[in-house]
Structures are given as structure tokens and as C-alpha cells.
Structure 1
């Protein structure tokens, strides 16, 4: 099974127009981060976690020719805003897109994309098949997902463990019970927004401390703001076994 980082960045702290800081003007491709999302490819299924505003470009850039499902972590715009662009896969595959989301995220999708859920649909409207998820594990083909609930300030967000790989974005606190689902993972992906204290995201130091607590062999930081700094500069500060993710990074799990 292969994991590809479609995006490792975030909307948080990123201006609409490049601000001229050293990250925004960097020529290092590792500093060019789209909104956080990963592509999971198994022998029988291709699945994306989250479809943010960059979804269409991410699909084109990664040359994704077939997509079986989208799994959602939570309802914030930087994680759902690109769902309309599933229509190209509807056309090519001649079937609805499988959407896996909890009931709260489903309600947000209905608010944001009411035309998708209308009884009488305009021709060409995206077609979806909704699957409700919660705390229980679920399978998409051969891919086994174990949901992990983390808190994004006061908002519950789902992370997922797949085999020995755990993927979490938008965490600030994680209960002891949910930590037990993570322990034993060989690879951990966790958010590290910036160095400064933040109300709803791990800082760099908090993410490092969490990685050490979990004891994973390898940890990658994602959901990175430009406020964190340039990729190469931060990479030089990180302990052994911890790296920054970057767009296009591939992992075998």
C-alpha cells in the first residue's frame, strides 16, 4: 500500500496574496504546500482523505485516473471545499463517488453543496453515495480504517489508523483512550502548525513531544503554516526520526 501526500499545508496563516515572507518567496519546492490531504492506493482501492480547495489540482498533479472514495476528517472548508470536483470522476467512472463522513460532516456537506443532495438534480451535478462513519472501524476494499477522535479546540476531528500508519490533522488535544489506538504505529503523521502557541493546533514543540510520547519509529509533520518557517531550516532543527512532510512525499506502508 502506498501513501502520497497531496498536500501538507493549511489555510491557517496563509494570506490570499503571497505576503513576501521567506516561505512565500522560497524557490524550494518543499515550501510550496497545498492544503493537507493524502492519497491511499492499495491493490484494489484508491482513496483520498479530505478534498480541500486544492482538490482538483491535486488530482491533476498526482495523475489520479481513478478514485473509489473520499474519507473526511471534519467539516472545515480547507478539508471539504473541493468536493464539487468529483464530477470528473463521476463522468469517467459512470458511478457515484463514495463519501465516508460522520453525521456532522454530512450536514456541512449538505449546507455547502445543496445542489448535490437535491431531489431533482441539474444534469452534470456531482453524484455521491454517502457512508456514515463514527467510532467503529470500517473497510474500503482491503483498506482497514480505525477512526481516532482528536479535539481541534472544541471540535471533534477524526484521524485514522491504517495498518501501522496513523494520520491526524487539526489536533490540539487527544484523550488517553484515543492515544491507545495510535500506540504501536510505525509511522505517525501529525499536525505542526507553527512555533507560536495556537488555540486549536499543535505547535512544533507540542507535536515533537507527542511524537516522542507515542514512540513511533517515524513521524512526519503536516498541516504546516508558512509561519513555521522554511522547510530546510525547520528540518535541521528536528530530532532523529521526525521529518516535515512535503507535497508529493510517498510512503510504503
Structure 2
């Protein structure tokens, strides 16, 4: 199994518009953080795209990913869905709409903002194209199949809202969580690689702080944990140096391979 981080930044991205802090001016490419997204390549050869951030086209070109088999949406916030039109590049090469998996509330937002993607009666003019999605409603705690791969959606709180993370075998990807409730911790038992959001050094009402993410990661006990959804609050090199063994900041383009058991 292989995990590719497309983007690892907060909703502002890094560099942040109008900011001249040390991180935003950094020459270290690991400090350039586009909005969060990832691709999981499963042991069965399927590629699962997690979220469609605004920089999706640039991210996929940069990482050399040329095909996907399905899209998994964590939730409906703009930084996680507003690159959805870039999926045209995949759907025009398919005979059927691209499967898209999300909770019902997320689909309600997607269908309201991007009706042309999901309306089967919409026909683009000759010579034009549109992304075509096949909605598949998921329920937290209920596994679903993508080709031969089983995916478990895991509910986590995000302020007043709830979002889903995903477990695929020994890998789990959680973003925009404020905490990991007991149900999530149980669902994460035994993962070897964990991805977890870590927004700031200080507490935040809707996201785990770096210290809180470290605490949650240690409770899960994965062999390796990667922190994502990072802001311009910390330089990559400084954060990497201070984190405990087995926990590291992710960066755009990072590839993590999970050998089979």
C-alpha cells in the first residue's frame, strides 16, 4: 500500500496571502503547504483520492498521479472540495461516472454548489466536458467497498460539525478532528500508519493542536504518525526536530509505503 500526500496545509495554505513570516518566506520546499488531500494506492491496485482541494490539478501533476478509481470526501468545507472540477480529467477517460463516497450532508452541499456534476440530465455542449460523479452515501462505522478494497469511515468531531476519516487496512487518514473519541480510538486499533491533523501550537475550537495531536497519536500507538493540516505557525525542520520518535510532520509530495504483512 502507498500513501501520497498531495497537500498538507491549512485552509489558508502556506505561504499565506499577505504574510511575511519566517515560514511563509522559507526556502525549504517542505514549508510550502497546499490545501489537504491525499491518494491511497491499495494492495489491490486501486487509487483512492481523499478530498478535492483547490490546488488539485497542480498537486496531481506534481506527484505524477494519472488515474484514480474513486473519491472519498471527509466533509464539505471549501478547502476540501473546491477543486472538484479538476476531476474532469479523469471522468472524460471513463465510460461511467467516477464513484464518489461521502456522508449525506456532504453530498447535499456538493450537489447544491456543483449541480452540473451530479445531474444526469445535464448535457454539456458539443466539444465541452464536465466531471461526472456517481454519489455513494456512506455512514460512519459502516465499511464500504471500492473495487476489492474495504474502507472504514470513522466519525470525528470538528467543532459543531462531524467529519469522517478513513481506515484502509493498516493505514488511517484523519483530518480536521478536534479530538479522537473512544469510538474512533477503537476503530484505529492496530493501524501501522496514522495521519492526523495538527493545526497550531495553541488550542483551537475545531482542530487538534500539535500537542493534542501528539497525545492522540500516542494513544493510538501506530508505528508511524504523520501530522498534516499544518499552518505557517511552524517551520518543518523545527517541528520535525521536536516531535517524539515515530511522529513526524508530513509535507506536500511525501510518499509513504506500507509493506505487506
TM range (shorter): over 0.9
Mapped contact 1:55–1:82 kept (Cα < 8 A) = yes
Distance 2:237 2:16 in 1: 24
Q: Residue by residue, what CA displacement relative to the aligned partner does 1:225-244 show, whole Å, maximum 9, x if unpaired?
A: 112x1000111111111100
TM-score normalised over the length of structure 2: 0.92
* Structure 2 match to 1:87: 88
Distance 1:13 1:140, change over 3 A: closer
Distance 1:125 1:69, change over 3 A: same
Distance 1:22 1:114 in 2: 41
What value does the CA root-mean-square deviation take over the aligned residues? Answer: 1.6
Bigger mean CA offset, 60-69 vs 24-33: 60-69
Distance 1:169 1:133, change over 3 A: same
Mapped contact 2:163–2:176 kept (Cα < 8 A) = yes
Give 4+ residue runs of structure 1 displaced > 6 Å after superposition.
none
Q: In the alignment, does 2:174 pair up with 1:160? A: no
Quote how far apart the aligned CAs of 1:184 are: 1.4
Q: In the alignment, does 2:220 pair up with 1:214? A: yes
* Structure 2 match to 1:120: 122
**Secondary structure, in 3 states, of the residue corresponding to 1:73?**
coil
* Structure 2 match to 1:110: 111
Q: Residue by residue, what CA displacement relative to the aligned partner does 1:132-175 show, whole Å, maximum 9, x if unpaired?
A: 11121012123221111000011110011111111100000232
Matches within 5 A, 1:1-253: 1-12=1-12, 17-42=17-42, 43-118=44-119, 119-123=121-125, 124-135=129-140, 136-227=142-233, 229-253=234-258
Structure 2, unpaired ranges of 5+: none
Bigger mean CA offset, 35-44 vs 159-168: 35-44
Quote how far apart the aligned CAs of 1:187 are: 1.2
TM-score normalised over the length of structure 1: 0.94
Bigger mean CA offset, 190-199 vs 208-217: 208-217
